[in-house]
Structure 1
Amino acid sequence: MTAEWPLTREHPRGPFVPRTGTAQEAPDGDERADTGTVQDPVAAVRAHLRSVQTALESLGGQSLRVAAWGEDLAQRLQAGHRLLAAGNGGSAAEAQHLTAELLGRFQDERAPFSAISLHADTSAVTAIANDYGFEELYARQVRAHGRPGDVLMLLSTSGKSPNLLRAAEVASRTGITTWALTGRSPNPLSLNCDETIAIDGPAPHVQECHLIALHAMCRAFDSEIRRLGRAGVRA
């Protein structure tokens, strides 16, 4: 176990003291990334934590859809369908976070369910990107893995990623339901998916709220799985 640095021990470069008051702190509610003034680290953190509230409120207004996605996904996966998930960069990490929750468990013990992160197989990713181009990265995998009744979840803060748009296009021709988690809507991805949860805010807050949305959806998923079990429903 890694020991934390004791607060009473002097660091070789001297004790750390936050530089509060050495630079101007942005006023409450100011979400601008660059105001032309220099913020000290503490002020920057406080401004970030304050400004995330707007994005959270945007997500809160879509709680019924989050719950509906969890319920629908539970019924599909319990019936033998699967979830495919994709994103780029941080959104790829969140897609993989979701599939891990379904393959393992979110909180309470339950059966594993079929969920595939389409970026996680590095050999497939590099082969497809090399031979067919990055734009085809996810579309080709959707054609390989997807079946009618499956769900493809696409995560993007901008909603403009060409490889996600191609994946949505292929899925729509295959009978796969498409869900998008994006930033401000309308955007190209939200317009090309069956349903969208769009977060209003700057990209960092959008991504933070995407993870909250996924965790909330997992709670709804687990709740529906328990209900189906009590009703005697089996895959």
Structure 2
Amino acid sequence: MIDIRAEIEQAIATKQASLALAPVIEAAGREIVEAVRRGNRIFVCGNGGSAADAQHFAAELVGRFERDRRGVAAHALTTDTSLLTALANDHGYDAVFERQVTALGARGDVLVAISTSGESESVVRAVEAAQRLGMASIVLVGRGGGRLARVPGVIVVCVPSDRTCRIQEVHTMVVHIWAQMVDEAFAA
């Protein structure tokens, strides 16, 4: 039987350990706010649960989080099934986000790449493409950061956990903090 109390305690402990990430979370949030202020766009990608997190974050930016403000040009690269399946069929799944970043991204835009392991090839290739274009790249990872944390020039937010569920819980908290920063910067 699952020890529910232990699960809750572990979730709390992971968030407590994540307090050390506050400076990098703030720096990444400032990067997002400044890109929006310049009129640049925010792109977000990930696979599986991280794709859901990508869509959640983009929705908070285009809509709003807790305060009324203008919409932000944010795009989850995970939502267009016709495009995703065409790219996967014609170029292989590892290229599905890279091709979109290359086609849609521009210098000054921001890519937020989400992967609990930091090892997802499709996400790594998207970050590498963003770097070539002069975009800022923010990676939300766990498990030591994997390959994504080793891409030169990226801002790394690495959750101190090896459990996917705990990493995803902190990722959700982080994107909520960033959405709150955007709300505060652009509230009506």
TM-score (norm 1): 0.76
Q: What amino acid is the match of 2:27?
A: A
Number of aligned residue pairs: 186
1:98 is aligned to 2:68 = no
User: Taking CA–CA contacts closer than 8 Å with sequence separation of 6 or more, which of the two structures ends up with the larger relative contact order?
Assistant: 2
1:71 is aligned to 2:30 = yes
Q: Which has the larger radius of gyration?
A: 1
Range moving further from structure 2, 57-66 or 201-210: 57-66
Q: How far apart are the structure 2 equivalents of 1:203 and 1:115?
A: 25
Task: Spell out, residue by residue over 1:173-195, the C-alpha distance to the aligned partner (whole angstroms, 9 max, x if none).
Answer: 11111110000324211111511
Q: Point out where structure 2 has 5 or more consecutive residues left out of the alignment.
A: none
**Structure 1 counterpart of 2:183, from 201, 204, 222:** 222
Q: Where do 1:182-193 residues align within 5 Å?
A: 182-192=141-151
Runs of 4+ more than 6 Å apart = none
Aligned to 2:103: 144
Aligned to 1:195: 155
- CA-based RMSD of the aligned residues comes to 1.4
Q: How far apart are the structure 2 equivalents of 1:113 and 1:139?
A: 22
Q: How far apart are the structure 1 equivalents of 2:83 and 2:107?
A: 23
**Structure 1 counterpart of 2:48, from 86, 89, 93:** 89
Q: Which has the higher helix share?
A: 2
Distance change in 2, residues 1:186/1:155 (3 Å): closer
Matched-pair contact (CA < 8 Å) for 1:128–1:134: yes
**Structure 1 counterpart of 2:94, from 135, 138, 152:** 135
Q: Point out where structure 1 has 5 or more consecutive residues left out of the alignment.
A: 1-38, 230-235
Task: Spell out, residue by residue over 1:87-120, the C-alpha distance to the aligned partner (whole angstroms, 9 max, x if none).
Answer: 0000000010000001000011000010000010
Q: Report percent identity of matched pairs.
A: 34
